[in-house]
Structure 1
Amino acid sequence: MYISQNMSDQSGIIKQLATGAPLLFHAEDDHNNQSIVEGGFLSGRNPFVFVPFAPLPTFIVQLVVIVCMSRFVKFFLSPIKQPAVIAETISGIILGPTCMGHIPYFSDTIFSKPSLPFLNLMSNFGLVLFLFLVGLELDPRMLKKSLRNSLTISLTGMALPFALGAGVSYILYTYMEPPSHQNGFTKYFLFLGVSFSITAFPVLARILTELELLKTKVGSITISAAAVDDATSWCLLALVISLINAGSGLIALYVFLMGLGYSFFLLFIVRPMFAWLLRRSGDGTQSHVMMFLALMIVFVSAFITDAIGIHAIFGGFLTGIIMPREGGFAFHITEKLEDIVSILFLPLYFALSGLRTSIGSLDDPLSWAIVLLVICVACFGKIFGCMLAAKITKMNWRESITVGCLMNCKGLVELIVLNLGYDAHVISQRTFAIMVIMALVTTFITVPLVSYIYPPVYHDKSDIQL
């Protein structure tokens, strides 16, 4: 599809969008098109039609629609204490091909395919900042509390789901992936193994806070185990992504080693220098210069990790981990960034996950049987593995089951991982839809299960048996 020289207004663009043809602009039309954009709707411009050289109006419309829909869905989920990521992903599913995409011209106007790369760019920019905040929450000092028990729960709770996920991946690969799948089974089962073994540390921290469990014995051990789980998962994922991007095992090893070397550089060189500057600045928490330096390290690290061949979000995550906690600097940065990231950027990213999720692609009984199998395997692997490890550490049955249910929360970290796999063409749209449903279900059931199994009357009463 193409726009002719005589098409000086955008009525023709709308007609072309209705036919599903792509928009291509000739160089000789640029001046006329630019005049329309600069003149606004009085010059014949339709602000709802995406124009590649002026994407801002479309992005603003997308932002408003996504954020408002997320808030609307969250309004109904708040009474049952569901985390925001559930509402944001469901809002994307509603706005996507599963639901509102069936409305004539809705997707072609609001979420047209040429506009999605710009939406993806902004959502990934916000994701880098969010992973920076996640890294800030992972205070290494917290891991020293109940370290032995937390390590036991975390590693056992990752090994069993990884093994089960790798096993289920054969069924998914056989029945859900097209014959032309380009990345091969090895990368596929490694990726799904990591996906099954993840616990969403940021969502879990908020759930524990809302249920007033954070300062209890169960909460303390669980949050430490989730922190170990989260850090280990990102390391495994970095290895898998480097293997996918590199194409060969030897190059993947070099990529991973370079990422490891850069991590040590941040930890042993950048962190001490930044801490020294922070002390020299006096009241560093109020210093715009220190805030500027912190953000520049985030973006430079994102660029370096992306250039290495891992992913830009790992740069943000690593920078968050190495930020000094002394003097409340980490808290100050979080306070400055958290609202803008959580209100605007995160809904974009997780709604984009929903937009990519076509539940209609699961159009036969076999597909839904596999969905049920994936959910059952994911829940069994995480809950049973962590419960068994918690019992070994001499927690009672009620506490052990509670730890397993909490560690089963996959939330936004799972969705981030799935998007990475989808973008890298490791998983198809059908596998993506199945895994998104699994992530939503495992996150959704966490609060009701924990509230039922471990109500406030049992908090810190370790002598009570189930």
Structure 2
Amino acid sequence: MTTFQATFLLLDLALILLLSQICGRIAQRLGQPAVIGEVVGGILAGPTLLGAVSTTLFPMEVRPFLTALANVGVAIFMFLIGLELNHRNLRGQGSIAASVAISSILLPFSLGVCLALFLAPRHEAEHRLGFLLFIGAAMSVTAFPVLARILTDRGLQRTTLGGLALACAAIDDVLAWSLLAVVITVAGSGGTDQWLLLLLAPYLGVMLGIVRPLLRRRLAAATGITPGLLATFFIGALLSAAATEWMGLHFLFGAFLFGALIPREGTGLLRREIVESTQRFNGTLLLPVFFVVAGFKVDLSLSAGGLLELGLILVVAITGKFGGAFLAARLHRLPPRQSVMLAILMNTRGLTELIILMVGLQLGLLDTELYSLMVVMAVVTTAMAGPLLRLAGLRTPVPPPADDLPISARATTDRDDRHG
């Protein structure tokens, strides 16, 4: 690293932190989660607002280092998402949660594939089938962390509706990531190293048969979170991420799987401490870097055709997710008002969507224009959740004490508290 690169890297990190804090505060004052402001801040750091100035502030020689930091942040984020999965959310409502999750995947996925057929002539992807499947998958996402934050803000996390929403989002996450794994496999077919995917089965066998029992034994001997224990989890998550990246499946799956494999029995306090100690740093520094890196590729200089495509993308994304969740909830005789609220909550996409879109960009399934439109969709569908819940008649009660919050909600609460 040259002196020029080191100097600008440090300056850019300081600028990103400042931008993240300012935009996060503004978002909160507007009644939105801080992450919405951070995403918008990342977009503003790109060519949409700054044009050529963006390259001056964030030189091309420095961007690879920022991208590396962003990838580490995403890997840790996916590890935490896997760690947050909890089968106890399904108790007493597994049937309806599974139905809502599956329906809210199938309908937007189907509509997304139809939309992709319309978009394909204007956006030539490197792999046509991969493009169709990817657009369907991108329409099917629900962001678990943002949903948890919205529930916490409105005091719903301990209600039946809140528990159901968390359960649906958890199942949705697993289904959506599995679907994305299929897309990556299809889009990457024909490469010289595709045989490495055959190692996926042995990899899963090692993770389930060896790594998980070792983790259970390690946790049973732990009396609290220590630097050594935390390092063990990070080492495992990064090694797992490296393994899936080497096999051609993308590093985010390995990080996610390692977090999901950590035993749940009697580890609630340790997992809470892991989330709280990790999320503060990751959410303060590394994820804002990811938002800016994602914003480098967003250019909202749209033509009339681009505006038409944006409208179609929003219609498909919103109606597909809302319709799938609402219909399944009503079939299970959930009251209309609660069905509407559940459908609104399932429409939040947030950071999870941005990660998937970046994967699509890296695979050559999205061009810059379509990527930009999909990023706008992610922001709009997340930002509209709060206002729509108020329109549905939900007033915001006083949140419960922090000790009563679920782990994911505490993590996002701690992060948002830093924004003001």
TM-score higher than 0.5 here?
yes
| Residue 277 of structure 1: how far off its partner (Å) | 2.1
Return the match for 1:160 from 87, 91, 107. Answer: 107
Q: Secondary structure at the match of 1:114?
A: coil
Q: Secondary structure at the match of 1:447?
A: helix
Q: Which has the higher contact order (CA 8 A, sep 6+)?
A: 2
Describe the shift of the 1:251–1:355 C-alpha distance in structure 2 as closer, same or farther (beyond 3 A): closer
Return the match for 1:324 from 227, 240, 263. Answer: 263
Return the match for 1:344 from 285, 295, 299. Answer: 285
**Structure-1 residue corresponding to 2:221:** 280
**Contact kept in structure 1, 2:100 and 2:328, CA below 8 Å:** yes
Measured in 2, the distance between the counterparts of 1:85 and 1:379 equals 20
Return the match for 2:21 from 65, 68, 71. Answer: 71
The residue identity in structure 2 corresponding to 1:359 is L
Q: Secondary structure at the match of 1:121?
A: helix
| Residue 170 of structure 1: how far off its partner (Å) | 1.5
| Residue 168 of structure 1: how far off its partner (Å) | 0.4
Return the match for 1:232 from 161, 164, 175. Answer: 175
**Structure-2 residue corresponding to 1:140:** 87
**Structure-2 residue corresponding to 1:59:** 9
**Contact kept in structure 2, 1:133 and 1:334, CA below 8 Å:** yes
RMSD: 2.0
Measured in 1, the distance between the counterparts of 2:189 and 2:68 equals 23
Unaligned runs of at least 5 residues, structure 1: 1-50, 459-466
Measured in 1, the distance between the counterparts of 2:3 and 2:198 equals 40
Q: Secondary structure at the match of 2:249?
A: coil
| Residue 159 of structure 1: how far off its partner (Å) | 0.3
Measured in 2, the distance between the counterparts of 1:196 and 1:225 equals 16
Measured in 1, the distance between the counterparts of 2:3 and 2:251 equals 25
Moved more, 200-209 or 262-271: 262-271
Please list, as runs of the form range in 1=range in 2, the aligned pairs for 1:40-439 lying within 5 A after superposition: 52=2, 55-102=5-52, 106-175=53-122, 177-178=123-124, 181=125, 183-247=126-190, 258-281=199-222, 283=223, 285-325=224-264, 326-327=266-267, 328-360=269-301, 362=302, 364-439=303-378
Q: Secondary structure at the match of 1:455?
A: coil
Describe the shift of the 1:110–1:152 C-alpha distance in structure 2 as closer, same or farther (beyond 3 A): same
Measured in 2, the distance between the counterparts of 1:257 and 1:146 equals 36
Q: Secondary structure at the match of 1:55?
A: helix
Moved more, 323-332 or 211-220: 323-332
Identity across matched positions, percent: 32
Describe the shift of the 1:381–1:251 C-alpha distance in structure 2 as closer, same or farther (beyond 3 A): farther
Measured in 2, the distance between the counterparts of 1:70 and 1:265 equals 40
Measured in 2, the distance between the counterparts of 1:435 and 1:355 equals 14
The residue identity in structure 2 corresponding to 1:273 is L
**Contact kept in structure 2, 1:149 and 1:390, CA below 8 Å:** yes
Measured in 1, the distance between the counterparts of 2:280 and 2:173 equals 23
Describe the shift of the 1:53–1:243 C-alpha distance in structure 2 as closer, same or farther (beyond 3 A): farther
Measured in 2, the distance between the counterparts of 1:308 and 1:88 equals 32
The residue identity in structure 1 corresponding to 2:150 is I
**Structure-1 residue corresponding to 2:410:** none
Aligned residues: 395
**Contact kept in structure 1, 2:83 and 2:259, CA below 8 Å:** yes
- Find runs of 4+ consecutive structure 1 residues off by over 6 angstroms: none
Measured in 2, the distance between the counterparts of 1:425 and 1:237 equals 14
Describe the shift of the 1:229–1:257 C-alpha distance in structure 2 as closer, same or farther (beyond 3 A): farther
Measured in 2, the distance between the counterparts of 1:457 and 1:288 equals 39
Q: Secondary structure at the match of 1:259?
A: helix
Q: Secondary structure at the match of 2:62?
A: helix
Q: Deviations over 1:355-399 (max 9, x none)?
A: 210011x2x211101101110111000001100000011111111
Describe the shift of the 1:81–1:343 C-alpha distance in structure 2 as closer, same or farther (beyond 3 A): same
The residue identity in structure 1 corresponding to 2:103 is T
**Contact kept in structure 2, 1:402 and 1:454, CA below 8 Å:** no
Measured in 2, the distance between the counterparts of 1:231 and 1:454 equals 31
Unaligned runs of at least 5 residues, structure 2: 398-420
The residue identity in structure 1 corresponding to 2:300 is I
Q: Deviations over 1:187-219 (max 9, x none)?
A: 001011100011111111111111111111211
Measured in 2, the distance between the counterparts of 1:79 and 1:210 equals 13
The residue identity in structure 2 corresponding to 1:171 is F
Q: Deviations over 1:132-188 (max 9, x none)?
A: 11111112332334110000000011000000000001222212x14xx4x221000
| Residue 110 of structure 1: how far off its partner (Å) | 1.8
The residue identity in structure 1 corresponding to 2:345 is L
**Structure-2 residue corresponding to 1:23:** none
| Residue 288 of structure 1: how far off its partner (Å) | 2.9
Q: Secondary structure at the match of 1:324?
A: coil
**Contact kept in structure 1, 2:48 and 2:299, CA below 8 Å:** yes
**Contact kept in structure 2, 1:391 and 1:397, CA below 8 Å:** yes
| Residue 256 of structure 1: how far off its partner (Å) | 5.4
Moved more, 413-422 or 344-353: 344-353
**Structure-1 residue corresponding to 2:412:** none
Measured in 2, the distance between the counterparts of 1:457 and 1:99 equals 34
**Contact kept in structure 2, 1:399 and 1:454, CA below 8 Å:** no
